[in-house]
Structure 1
Amino acid sequence: MENPIQKRTMHFAEKIIAAYLFLRENKHYRLADQLVGAGTSIGTNVSEAQVAHSKLDFIAKLTIANKEAKETQYWLNLLDREGLLLDFQEMKFLKQEIGEIILILNSIIIKSRQNLNPKK
């Protein structure tokens, strides 16, 4: 069974794909590629973390997911500033959800590091 962060990142990826298709329809091909690459890789890395071979590997995969989430947030902010997703109905959801995903990933990473070195 998927855990809550896996479910959230999968749902987020589905909305990112919709944004990707919207951007492509409006001939913003390169920006669409950047957004879909970063936005879908978050969930991929979260899924890979679930089968990590060690606690360090788990932390590393989630750290990559977090970096991809921050890149996705950058692209969403840029696209919003430029008005390129102005007519995309899910934009508000995407911007709010990426912020929450980043907070969740940060929390999991911090707690996992603390559990790795309980004296610190």
Structure 2
Amino acid sequence: MQEDQNPKRYDLEERTEEFARRVGVFVEGLPKTLSNLEYGKQLIRASGSVGANYIEANEALSKKDFVMRIKICRKESKESCYWLRLVHCHEAAKNEQQALIQEGTE
């Protein structure tokens, strides 16, 4: 049996859960402005939905259902990146913001 040569391979359930957790911590540290409160709520919902839909995809009743759930994961991931770009964060959090956007696009 061949060993996996890709060191960046992850269990996607774990990876999507970690993404949602990191987003939650990021949102908690945002300045409490009216726009950030609304954007943050949307961001938390979208980031959590990525993993939830991935879990549902793994329990799909058919290949068509699986494909639909994976497409929803992709859509929610894109939405997460949208909200990440809209929030206003402290300069110290800019690196994490960019890292989360990168994670959301992979």
Both structures adopt the same fold (TM-score exceeding 0.5): yes
CA contact (8 A) 2:39 2:86 kept: no
Flag the 1:15–1:85 CA change in 2: closer, same or farther, 3 A: farther
Between 89-98 and 12-21, the greater mean CA deviation after superposition: 89-98
User: Structure 1 residue 78 and structure 2 residue 86: aligned?
Assistant: yes
Alignment counterpart, residue 22 of structure 1, candidates 10, 26, 29: 29
How far the C-alpha of 1:7 sits from its partner, in A, is 1.6
- Partners of 2:91 and 2:32 lie apart in 1 by 12
How far the C-alpha of 1:86 sits from its partner, in A, is 3.4
Amino acid of the residue matched to residue 104 of structure 2? I
Q: Which 4+ runs in 1 deviate beyond 6 A?
A: none
How far the C-alpha of 1:96 sits from its partner, in A, is 1.4
What TM-score comes out, normalization by structure 2 length? 0.77
In the alignment, which residue of structure 2 is the partner of 1:110? none
Identity of aligned residues (%): 34
Gaps of 5+ in 1: 101-120
In the alignment, which residue of structure 1 is the partner of 2:15? 8
Flag the 1:85–1:68 CA change in 2: closer, same or farther, 3 A: farther
Alignment counterpart, residue 35 of structure 1, candidates 10, 27, 43: 43
What value does the CA root-mean-square deviation take over the aligned residues? Answer: 1.8
What's the CA shift string for 1:55-100, capped at 9, x where partnerless? 1111111111111011111111222xxx425332622320211111
Q: What SS does the aligned partner of 2:29 have?
A: helix
- Partners of 1:98 and 1:32 lie apart in 2 by 15
Alignment counterpart, residue 92 of structure 1, candidates 79, 89, 98: 98
- Partners of 1:87 and 1:33 lie apart in 2 by 21
What's the CA shift string for 1:20-43, capped at 9, x where partnerless? 2123x6243211101101111100
Flag the 1:85–1:10 CA change in 2: closer, same or farther, 3 A: farther
Matched residues, number = 94
